[in-house]
Chain A
């Protein structure tokens, strides 16, 4: 009995880790944008839903697997994010939070309903054989699509890390994030860097959307749920911290899975919100965040 229980616990944790990795990737974009611009992207889930729809359209009309369309979607999202920041969001940097909130809320409403008008209200999913596959490793059963998605998420996170630590633009962005004034003084084009950051953040979310569609079908109105989930994850991990976003994703993924096993599954998001409240109160900078001054 106990051996059985331990096994199912280990199973649940594995599942949580796999799902959590994709959650982490989704939250990464939110964290990057906040870390640099101090703008809280309330349209985050909506942007991801658009990514899911693009991947679905690629699959449905062009027969391209979401894994293959992922780089293209990331690229499109980079461009769109860059433009969005330049044209709409840029004037709002440094403005009061409620104005940023309203701006992004308006964008969110537009995106969701554009999806409704264009793609219709039906739940859209891709059909792949791998959705029904699993890998067995001893007593463990790994979910194939989730394993693929988690691996891809790791690769993308790695690329992002390389970008921020090895490239000139990436280093400049980090410099601007650490010290806005200093960056201006040494002559960095902060406005361009901000747009670039929003582009990178959007690309992350777009990529997460392409992975997500392999796991779960999309409908326009799930977007708000994702926004909320992304927020929970980044706050738990530490708003603005990349490691934090990934770790937060894993933590929430695992806690949901374990809570589902031990409690009634419908209570599991209550556990996530409980964790969020505790983290906010006891360590508001998040588990991996730098303590702010």
Chain B
């Protein structure tokens, strides 16, 4: 039980109760929501999950990546390709997919960190790798090139091959999101987590006091890339088609970053709150703009909302909520 107490140490009881309540609610949510509501909730969990994965790099270790679509794309493509060509199901294929994404992450990370690129320069390196890969996949026949890779869709449910309806995908993404949440908490409470925070706050000082900076950063990008690849695999089997144009798009990388930044960088709840806020706002604005029949109006609302949030809550929405409602962890 020491592991559990370590995980929950310092967290106010009301927060734990709320968390448990939330999980229960999510478990029964499909019964309460319509199909449309469920599909929105799936998106929320998906963005919360990828956001959490991205947050490990940026929020914990302070490395700004704007190319995470690379890992999701590589992961999704490999699992889908194995299934498509050799009938290897995703539960096995996912290991290859994650391994490939971790390898890709290691290359990007090693080059970036070895040559001490930081901030915008590192971000551009990640974009460059992602775009580079996109064009490479455009020309790679095994994955269908820019024509796309299509998985066969049948309405039979086959959990062994991750084939089935939205309900199956809902529980898979819920499990992934919840598992990653716990993993992140454990990481933050570990020595590695404290090293990361030290690196984030001041890399040179961290180096000076003996933190193995390069190794810690490498672990961060590998974990982050591996988790993002999981999201990519899930995404590939949920949508059943992949195109380099969308799988590796810079727009997708940017989408991944929004939830944690809006929610609160470096916090556990940030990505979740951010995903709820962004997806929720998106749906509300869709409804609002339908009244006017002007295409693009929704995105204007959306842009304004982002602007307002970043101007008035630059540290994110969650820290503010936590303060208001006393969910915050006691300062240690």
Asked if A and B form a direct contact in the complex, defined as CB atoms under 8 angstroms apart, the reply is: yes
Which A residues fall within an 8 A CB radius of B?
Answer: 40, 88, 91, 95, 97-99, 101-103, 105-110, 112-114, 116-117, 121, 220, 224, 228, 231-232, 235, 239, 264, 266-267, 269-270, 273-274, 276-277, 280-282, 284
| A and B contact pairs by CB, cutoff 8 A, 25 listed | A97-B119, A98-B257, A98-B261, A99-B314, A102-B262, A103-B311, A106-B306, A107-B307, A108-B303, A109-B302, A109-B303, A109-B306, A110-B307, A113-B300, A114-B296, A114-B300, A117-B295, A117-B297, A224-B250, A239-B120, A270-B132, A273-B131, A280-B115, A284-B115, A284-B121
B120 touches A121 (CB 8 A): no
Q: Which of B128, B135, B251, B303 is the most central at the interface, judged by chain A CB atoms within 10 Å of its CB? A: B128
Main SS at interface, chain A:
helix
Top 8 A-B residue pairs of the complex, sorted by shortest distance between their CB atoms: A109-B303, A116-B296, A106-B306, A110-B303, A106-B307, A113-B296, A113-B299, A270-B135
A106 B303 Cβ-Cβ under 8 A: yes
A34 to B, closest residue via Cβ: B120
How many A-B residue pairs lie within 8 Å, measured between CB atoms?
Answer: 114
Inter-chain contact A106/B128, CB cutoff 8 Å: no
- In the assembled complex, the Cα of A98 lies from the Cα of B63 at a distance in Å of 10
Q: How far is the CA of A161 from the CA of B94 in the complex (A)?
A: 55
A106-B310, A107-B303, A277-B128 are known; give 18 further A-B pairs, CB within 8 A.
A88-B307, A97-B64, A97-B123, A99-B314, A102-B258, A105-B254, A105-B306, A106-B307, A113-B300, A114-B296, A116-B296, A231-B127, A264-B139, A266-B135, A273-B128, A277-B129, A280-B124, A281-B125
How far is the CB of B228 from the nearest CB of chain A, in Å?
Answer: 17
| Contact, CB under 8 Å: A235 / B121 | yes
Check if B4 is an interface residue, CB within 8 A of chain A.
no
Count chain B residues whose beta carbon lies closer than 8 angstroms to a beta carbon of A: 43
A266–B137 Cα distance when bound, in Å, is 12
A262–B98 CA distance with the chains assembled, in angstroms: 36
B124: A residues at CB distance < 8 A = 231, 235, 276, 280
Residues on the B chain within 8 Å of A103, using CB: 307, 310-311
| Cross-chain contact of B300 among A101, A117, A239 (Cβ < 8 A) | A117
Q: Could you tell me if A266 and B128 are in contact, using CB atoms closer than 8 angstroms? A: no
| A276 neighbours in B (Cβ, 8 Å) | 124, 128
